[in-house]
Amino acid sequence: MEAFRHRQLMDRHQLAAALDDLAARLRQRLPREGVTVLPILGGAMIFAADLVRRLPSGLVMDFIRVQTYGDATSPQAAPVVDWRPKKANVRGHHVLLLDDILDTGRTIQEAKRFLLEEMGAGQVTVAVLIDKPVRRAVDVQPDEAAVTFEEDHFFVGFGLDYRGLYRNLPDLLALETGEDGLPVPAQKPAAEIEIAEGS
Q: Which residues pair with 66 in a beta bridge?
A: 81
Residues 6+ apart with CB under 8 A from 174: 6, 7, 9, 153, 154, 155, 156
CA distances (Å), origin 183, targets 4, 55, 142: 6, 36, 27
Out of 62, 99, 103, 171, pick the active-site residue.
103
Q: Is 152 a catalytic residue?
A: no
The SS3 assignment for 51 reads helix
Catalytic residue set: 103
